[in-house]
Amino acid sequence: MLGVTKQLLDLQQADGKVHEVVAHLERLVVHRRQLEAKITQERADLAARRAALQKLELDSRSRNLEVDELDSRIRAYQERLDKGIISFKEMEDLRTKIASEKVRIGHLEDEALDLMAAIETAREDVARAQADHAPREEHLQAQIAAIEREIQETEQGQLAQLRNDRASLAAALPPYASAQYEALRITFSNPVAGIDHGTCGGCKIRVSANTVERVRAGREIVTCEHCSRILFSL
Ligand SMILES: [Zn+2]
């Protein structure tokens, strides 16, 4: 193989390795984001449970207040009725009002009791969710920290080394070959391709016998007449 073509092939392999590591880092970043989203979601769930409990407590307070108000109203009616310094018609009205308010207060008291039961359940629910949440978040944070460590170590270690190697290979190339390779790399991840049974390994199209022969002779950089990739003999 022509020396410079071999150098280009080495460069391509180095680029392939850099690409693999970068892709791995990208997957790690995606995974980290997913874990962070999970933490946000779990915190939101917990907050929603707390808010639901607060709403029940608020409802319960206002229901108890209504019961108290209604109760004092009934007492006031009863007092007027007991004093008896009102007409028969008014007395009848008051008795009717007292009876209907007593029915209402009964309903409100039932509601208040239901709310108390719901609060009890919601409190247990919040307590359980809170207890579950802490260790789960701790576990997620530990996973995130491990991913961040891996990202940092890979960037500073493996990736830095591969980029150094790549830079050395590129620097050793004649400028014209390097320029040709970089121009092809804008379009192709593999600017250097082998000829396999007369076919370009990049575009999979048959190249001319003359091209095959020139590649085999190894005197110059030969490119595929279809896709312009730099060719070598397998
Ligand atoms: Zn081709």
Q: Which helix (H) or strand (E) holds 109?
A: helix 88-154
What is the mean predicted confidence (pLDDT) over 14-24?
97
Give the separation between CA 146 and CA 214, rounded to whole angstroms.
Answer: 53
Confidence of residue 39 (pLDDT cuts 50, 70, 90): very high
Which pTM was predicted?
A: 0.77
194 Cα: distance to centroid of ligand 1 (angstroms): 9
Q: Which of 233, 218, 234, 223 is nearest to 180 (CA)?
A: 223
Q: In the predicted model, is pLDDT for residue 192 greater than 90?
A: yes
Provide the pLDDT for residue 85. Answer: 82
Query: What CATH code is assigned to 30-171?
Result: 1.10.287.1490
What is the mean predicted confidence (pLDDT) over 81-109?
92
Provide the pLDDT for residue 84. Answer: 78
What is the mean predicted confidence (pLDDT) over 76-90?
89
145 Cα: distance to centroid of ligand 1 (angstroms): 45
- Residue spans in the chain of domains classed CATH 1.10.287.1490: 30-171
37 Cα: distance to centroid of ligand 1 (angstroms): 44
What is the mean predicted confidence (pLDDT) over 139-154?
98
Q: Which of 199, 222, 184, 170 is nearest to 2 (CA)?
A: 222
98 Cα: distance to centroid of ligand 1 (angstroms): 97
Neighbour-count burial of 5, counting CB atoms closer than 10 A to its CB (0-12 exposed, 13-18 middle, 19+ buried): buried
168 Cα: distance to centroid of ligand 1 (angstroms): 27
Confidence of residue 83 (pLDDT cuts 50, 70, 90): confident
Provide the pLDDT for residue 47. Answer: 97
1 Cα: distance to centroid of ligand 1 (angstroms): 18
